[in-house]
Amino acid sequence: MPTEEKTSARSPKKKRGIYGWRAFFLIFFSGTAVAFLVMGIIVGSLRLIFSGLFPDGGATTSNPQVVEQRKPRETMGIGALDLCDVANTDVMAGKGGRMVDGGGGAVDSGEKDGEDAPGRTVTDECRWIFTPSRQGETSLTLRYEAFVNDPEGRSKEDAARGEFEEQLHQVEGGFANLLGNGATQNTMAEAEYFLGENSGGGADYVVVGKMKSGVFVATFTESQKPEDVKREYERVFRKEVDALDVAISTEIERILPD
């Protein structure tokens, strides 16, 4: 008896997944959502960073509290200002200078009269000798007077201005042969320089400076006058003057009351 062939065929399995226009819209909207999510993360991160750097929204120029300013200095302790010690430690020690005069501490009138006494001043004078790199001896003398408190009847600024003008006059008249003078360049203090022959046959290079209510006079002396005094000043002593000015002026600005 012949076997009866099956007339019904198995129906094909349906494919799983999303195809056609449904897949297109699903991919499109999913990609767009991811893009917006990434952009949101980036923008949020940038806002967090800038909010940390600029708590006021970036308006640093309109808010004076953003830049920390030094508070005005109204007082100065006894013995706080010692420019000879600063010059010796910060400048001369690295240039072969050996202190031969001074170094015992500045004279502060506040030790006797009190820290707040009117007309309180700090004065000192010191001298260094340099190991000569050529014939003759080279030395530096530093003297200064700082007006800490207002004297009776005038301000300490006026007193310092008067002392500055007096020192300019004395220094200019102390040369046997003045060869040049003028305002110093690239110095923190208000200062003028003088150079020429001294009465001993050598050469002097003098700087008179004023910083706040402090006045200082620095004198470089060569025991033997060089052939070209002006050239020697530019070649050797200009850098010494600049270094000394920075050390002294920075200390005066930091310590001396405003």
Tens of pLDDT along 162-215?
Answer: 999 999 999 999 999 999 899 987 788 999 999 999 988 889 999 999 999 999
Cβ neighbours for 152, distance < 8 A, ≥ 6 positions apart: 118, 119
Residues 74/113/168/132 CA torsion (nearest 10 deg):
-100
Query: Is 2's pLDDT higher than 70?
Result: no
| pTM of the complete model | 0.70
Read off the tokens for 250: 């920075």
Strand partners, 210: 190, 215
Query: Is 68's pLDDT higher than 60?
Result: no
All structural domains of the chain with their residue ranges: 18-69, 83-255
Query: Is 123's pLDDT higher than 80?
Result: yes
Residue 159's pLDDT band, with cuts at 50, 70 and 90, is very high
Say if domain 83-255 classifies as CATH 3.40.1000: yes
CA–CA dist 117, 119 (Å, integer) = 6
Better pLDDT: 227 or 60: 227
Of 145, 147, 129, 160, give the one whose Cα is nearest residue 217: 145
Query: Is 108's pLDDT higher than 90?
Result: yes
Q: Are residues 213 and 146 in contact, defined by beta-carbon separation less than 8 angstroms?
A: yes
pLDDT for the residue numbered 117: 94
Average pLDDT on 135-160 reads 91
